[in-house]
Amino acid sequence: VTIQPDHPYTHRYDKTKGKLHLSQVTVQGKILPFGRWSRLVKVLCNVAHTENPICLCSISPDAKHKSFPLNFEFGEDDGDVVLSVIGHYDVHLAGYFLGNTGGHGEDGIEKKKIKEEDEIHEKKIKEEI
């Protein structure tokens, strides 16, 4: 899902899909000449309409790597999960649903696809280093 500044995304738990596991964030967009303004983007999370959001991560388009691994899970007990960004750039969150299939069926295929994409990404990072 892509999250834009001032356009939060609300995730609602779906029993058929199971828990949501967020595994990666990528900052998107061209670097803009902000002068004294910060290029840092914060990804925030409000769980079940809590008063204070939690900062999941901070990322910058100036960084050598524009992606960052995450390891967050949201399930039925969390209620609505509102994801938002503070900053001047869009972010893309990647992940998968854990489902109730025990790693088989469509959820298992999706997990395998995500794992393969993560391995390709890690290989590219190692090549750059």
Q: Is the dihedral of CA 71, 75, 78, 84 positive or negative?
A: positive
Cβ atoms of 109 and 38 within 8 Å: the answer is no
CATH topology for the 2-128 domain: Jelly Rolls (2.60.120)
In the prediction, which pLDDT does 46 show? 93
How far from the centroid of its chain's Cα atoms is residue 111's Cα? Answer: 15
Most distant pair of Cα atoms in the chain: their distance: 50
So what's the pLDDT on residue 114?
Answer: 62
Q: What is the pLDDT along the chain (129 residues), one digit of tens a residue?
A: 999 999 999 999 999 999 999 999 999 876 666 555 567 899 999 998 778 999 999 998 877 778 889 999 999 888 899 999 998 889 999 999 998 755 444 555 555 556 666 666 666 565 655
Q: Model pTM?
A: 0.71
Phi, psi (deg, nearest 5) at residue 4 = -105, 155
Q: Is 30 helix (H, G, I), strand (E, B) or coil?
A: coil
Reference 98, options 13, 18, 15, 11; nearest CA is 18
Q: Are 23 and 93 in contact (CB under 8 A)?
A: no
Give the residue extent of every domain in the chain.
2-128
